[in-house]
Amino acid sequence: MFALILAVLIGVVSGSRTLLAPAAVSWAAYSGWLDVSGSWLFFLGHPVSPWVFTAMAVAELIVDKLPTTPSRKLPFPFASRVAGGAIAGAAIGANAGFWVGGLIAGGIGAVIGTLVGYAARMRMAAAFGRDRPAALLEDAVALAAAVLIVAAA
């Protein structure tokens, strides 16, 4: 049950930052914190995977601040967040012996994170009078949450 809660939470992180959750679970798998070796998620533990996911996550953090970046609620960005959350949730679930439950929980968490994260960011941006401080705060919260979640898994 605890693993499913963590899978939902890592999905919420993906709803906020698409690639941050897969990067976090990839580092955890590579470091031996998560055992995905006997599942289809084995690629997350490959020595190259955490670096690739991290590079993509950093690029996402930069692109997110550009004025031309589309809304996370559009179909492709939304689906990408759900896919990232599902994969990250599946990794946490696989570590506990039930990747399917983790996959579903991570996807649900990503939907929640996408919608709630959007609303929170809009409110923070309104409070700050501009978007950049809200975006940076969202980055920091998502990163801290990802680290804490994979450490707890």
pLDDT for residue 96 is more than 90? no
Q: How far apart are the first and last CA of the chain?
A: 12
Determine the pLDDT at residue 38: 84
Give me the residue label for tokens 């399917």. Answer: 100
Tell me how crowded residue 31 is: count the other CB atoms within 10 A of its CB: 11
Determine the pLDDT at residue 97: 87
CA distance 3 to 6: 5
Query: How many angstroms from the chain centroid is the CA of residue 83?
Result: 9
Segments forming the whole domain that contains residue 112 = 2-152
Helix pair angle (20-31, 49-63), 10° resolution: 160
pTM above 0.75, yes or no: yes
147 near 48, Cβ under 8 Å?
Answer: no
pLDDT tens-digit readout, 1-39:
899 999 999 999 999 999 999 999 999 999 999 999 888
- With a pLDDT cut of 90, the percent of the chain lying above it is 90
Instruction: Give the chain's radius of gyration (CA, Å).
Output: 15
CA distance 105 to 95: 14
CA distance 115 to 137: 17
Task: Count the domains in the chain.
Answer: 1
Task: Give the residue among 9, 29, 12, 150 at the shortest CA–CA distance from 81.
Answer: 12
pLDDT for residue 50 is more than 90? yes
Mean pLDDT in residue range 67-81 = 93
Buried b (16+ CB within 10 A) or exposed e, 44-82: bbeeebbeebbeebeebbeebeeeeeeebeeeeebebbb
Please give the structure tokens belonging to residue 73. Answer: 């609620």
Confidence of residue 102 (pLDDT cuts 50, 70, 90): very high
Mean pLDDT in residue range 119-145 = 95
Determine the pLDDT at residue 79: 96
Confidence of residue 95 (pLDDT cuts 50, 70, 90): confident
